[in-house]
Structure 1
Amino acid sequence: MIHTRKVRLMLASVALFSLAGPAMALDGADMMKKLNAATTPNGSSVSYDTAEADGDVVTVTGMKLQVAAEPGKSIDIGDVTFEGVEETEGGGYYAETVSFPDIAVSEKDASFSVKDIAIGGLSIPGKASGTTIEDILLYETAGTGPMTVSVKGKDVFTAERTETNLTRQEDNAGLDFDARLAGIKADLSGIEDAKAKDAVEQLGLTTLDGEVTMKGSWELESGNLALDEYALDFTNVGRLNIAMDFSGYTPQFMRSLQEAAKAAEANPNKEEANQAMGLAMLGLMQQLTFNSASIRFDDASITKKALDYAGSQQGVTGEQLAQSLKGLVPIMMAQLNVPELQNQVTSAVNAFLDEPKSLTISAKPEKPVPFPMIMGAAMGAPNTIPSVLGVKVTAND
């Protein structure tokens, strides 16, 4: 009798779990619906054929992406696999990994391929309002394997890998980000224009090796976007780094920008749409504040080569051309009627041409400057801009 009761209890438990199973299963269609809603603010949309869930894996077939820049056209992505998927608070979804098929496209004599495309830690919001980090489509990591561009059967550009990381700041106040395009190799030996080919050979740029890196942060409440590093670094050429810091780029600013872009795209009168977009941009710019910016070039032998080559085209040596430039720079700067900046530029250029190491142009005002003030100075008194922004030019520092 006791044995019979145990069997009945076990059967009842099995029946209970079998009934609960479908209710707890992932809804692939709902996940894709919310993914599409999260991409829509950027002017994009996602479509697909099927979205089937099996445990914590959602397999999406026939996925396509349409972007605002190409209305009426879509990018065929193919079959995408979301693994480690779980529902999150607020009706959203989190996927540990998202794997994409390799890309291989060709047109006429050119082809492009990318392998091992994947995203890690994808967060799909339940409601894509874009007001907090929780309401934005985000990922923790993204990257690819080898990337190749070929022309007439010859690889003209390759990269070993790309990688991007997003890290949430404490209390979800913002994001820290970094990215890298590593192992770049470019083959310029196939250039057909005789003059350009000669320049490339004389400068020793037949092949290029290097990488591109980026690092920065974004704070939501203040809209402070700091790009600390955006660098192109190539062997035997040099490293060019661009940095900037401004505030006001809030989620609200982003939404206004997206809405203006949508309105312009929907207007069939393109001239009128462009004018409206221009006015909208002027209005939005009123919300931004300039904090700092800089451009720095660290030479790795390209400057001397460039002077020698340019000089040879004019029948002089590289040293003679450098001396001519030293005399020309003060004359050109004098036309701007900014004596202090003229002295800085002249001194920096002279030092750099004598011994090319680094050249830096920076702008860091004592206090943050609203963009309307910069625009007013540009229209009313352009020669005051260097002092307004705290512009400095230095060399070999």
Structure 2
Amino acid sequence: MSYAGTMRALAAGGALMMMAGPAFSLDGADLVAKLNAAMGMPGAPLAAQTIDVRGSTVTLRGATYKPVEADPAITLGDITLEGVEEDNGGYFIETVAFPDVTATEDKTTVTISDISMSGVTVPATATGDSLDSVLLYEEASTGPMKVTVDGKTVFSVTSSSSATDVAEDQSAVGFAIEVDGIEADLSTVEDAKSREALQSLGMTKLSGTMSLSGSWQAEEGVVDLEEYVFDFANVGKLSMALSFSGYTMDFVRAAQQASQAMEANAGKEAQDAASLAMLGLMQRLTFNSAEISFQDAGITSRALDYAGKEQGVSGENMAQMLKAMTPMMLAQYNVPKLQNMVTEAVNTYLDNPGNLTISAEPENPVPFPMIMGAAMGAPNTLPDVLGVTVEANRRQ
């Protein structure tokens, strides 16, 4: 091929590459816009000074986050999104890496490091009625987090992680959260009386973990919070579970609109109208079941000793006083069945602190309006409506 022919071929190839380039390059601005739309917040909470796109990597330089329009934006720095792919109008992001966060206000400083997410799905449209219109991620984690006041650490976390698992048919999503190495220093509480109580209870320093797991069936609107646990050494483990229905995508959209209306309109009339809308939404929910349980790890005996000391008696005598007071306190509510259950459970627990469990399992799901009606009109019927039981030292 002649020199001139070679140059013409190169020029033609270059022109083709230039024309093809925009078709295959990522639109960073569109990605950010769809991220904001999927967050379901007013305005554009996520912003960046510049958006740098290089291949499948998108860098949001000088990024800020503003969840509430009236509040100042939080400076995040440069956020790096790697392995970004366009997916039917939406996006899939392999990993998102955030810069370490340091925020200071007055004497308080918060630091968080090693923040990342993976397997992020950004929907093409956030107005659909299935999970493919929801912003989802497979895993997220942080490293150490610390809160200091006047240079002294008052709260810290070693690490946290969360994961989601979306069903193949996009009908449901499971979720789990773990927070490890929670440390809280309560010795700095300023009120002398409160500080004395915490010292007597052995709670000037807390050490523990938190975990949560559950699922959401989006089409049926069923939320099962299977386990929500706070476990603190030398204190105890508080476990909660809850199941309710009616939390559909339609409910989520309506709740977001009501919340945005409350934020956008500060006037009392607008606030009242938005509050009524939220109350109306709550009436679309149905209660399935709930349970709360406490497993003692030493706090009960210390609490009895402290309360007894305040009354001038021993912890054992304080326990006997509580056992005698329980049926008398409950008698005024005219719920004899519940009164007997609670009295028996309290007696068993105070004699040998183990665990105390309160469950609510109605024979059939109960609409929230029925619960509110019973609470206002005949509160003594609520235990039967909800199928309430109280037990102590139940086998775990």
Query: If the length of structure 2 is used for normalisation, what is the TM-score?
Result: 0.94
Q: Which moved more, 1:369-378 or 1:197-206?
A: 197-206
Q: Which moved more, 1:28-37 or 1:347-356?
A: 28-37
% identical equivalent positions? 51
Kept after mapping to 1: 8 A contact 2:198/2:204 = yes
Match of 2:87 in 1: 88
Q: Which moved more, 1:385-394 or 1:193-202?
A: 193-202
AA matched with 2:376: M
Match of 2:218 in 1: 220
Kept after mapping to 1: 8 A contact 2:359/2:389 = yes
Q: Which moved more, 1:203-212 or 1:356-365?
A: 203-212
- Equivalent-residue separation in structure 1 for 2:190 and 2:262 (angstroms): 40
- Equivalent-residue separation in structure 2 for 1:353 and 1:72 (angstroms): 48
Measure how far apart 1:47 and its partner are: 1.9
Match of 1:375 in 2: 372
Q: Which moved more, 1:136-145 or 1:12-21?
A: 12-21
Measure how far apart 1:16 and its partner are: 4.0
Q: Which moved more, 1:387-396 or 1:188-197?
A: 188-197
Residues 38-78 of structure 1, C-alpha deviation per residue, up to 9 Å, x if partnerless? 2244776222211111011001112222223x525222222
Q: Which moved more, 1:103-112 or 1:220-229?
A: 103-112
Kept after mapping to 1: 8 A contact 2:171/2:217 = yes
Measure how far apart 1:319 and its partner are: 0.3
From 284, 287, 291, the counterpart of 2:284: 287
**1:307 paired to 2:304:** yes
Match of 1:389 in 2: 386
Match of 1:33 in 2: 33
- Equivalent-residue separation in structure 1 for 2:283 and 2:338 (angstroms): 27
- Equivalent-residue separation in structure 2 for 1:80 and 1:251 (angstroms): 29
Alignment of 1:223-372 (within 5 A): 223-269=221-267, 271-372=268-369
Measure how far apart 1:192 and its partner are: 3.2
AA matched with 2:109: S
- Equivalent-residue separation in structure 2 for 1:171 and 1:30 (angstroms): 27
Measure how far apart 1:25 and its partner are: 1.2
Match of 1:71 in 2: 70
- Paired residue secondary structure (1:329): helix
- Equivalent-residue separation in structure 2 for 1:43 and 1:241 (angstroms): 37
- Paired residue secondary structure (1:345): helix
Match of 1:183 in 2: 181
- Equivalent-residue separation in structure 1 for 2:280 and 2:151 (angstroms): 49
- Paired residue secondary structure (1:282): helix
Kept after mapping to 1: 8 A contact 2:41/2:260 = no
- Equivalent-residue separation in structure 2 for 1:233 and 1:208 (angstroms): 10
Alignment of 1:173-212 (within 5 A): 173-212=171-210
Q: Which runs of 5+ in 2 are unaligned?
A: none
**1:147 paired to 2:145:** yes
Q: Which runs of 5+ in 1 are unaligned?
A: none
- Paired residue secondary structure (1:71): coil
AA matched with 2:140: A
**What CA RMSD, in Å, does the superposition of the two structures yield over aligned residues?**
2.2
Q: Which moved more, 1:287-296 or 1:133-142?
A: 133-142
- Equivalent-residue separation in structure 2 for 1:315 and 1:184 (angstroms): 35
- Paired residue secondary structure (1:279): helix
**1:118 paired to 2:116:** yes
The alpha-carbon distance between structure 1 residues 44 and 29, as it changes in their structure 2 partners (threshold 3 A), is: closer
**1:99 paired to 2:74:** no
The alpha-carbon distance between structure 1 residues 373 and 192, as it changes in their structure 2 partners (threshold 3 A), is: closer
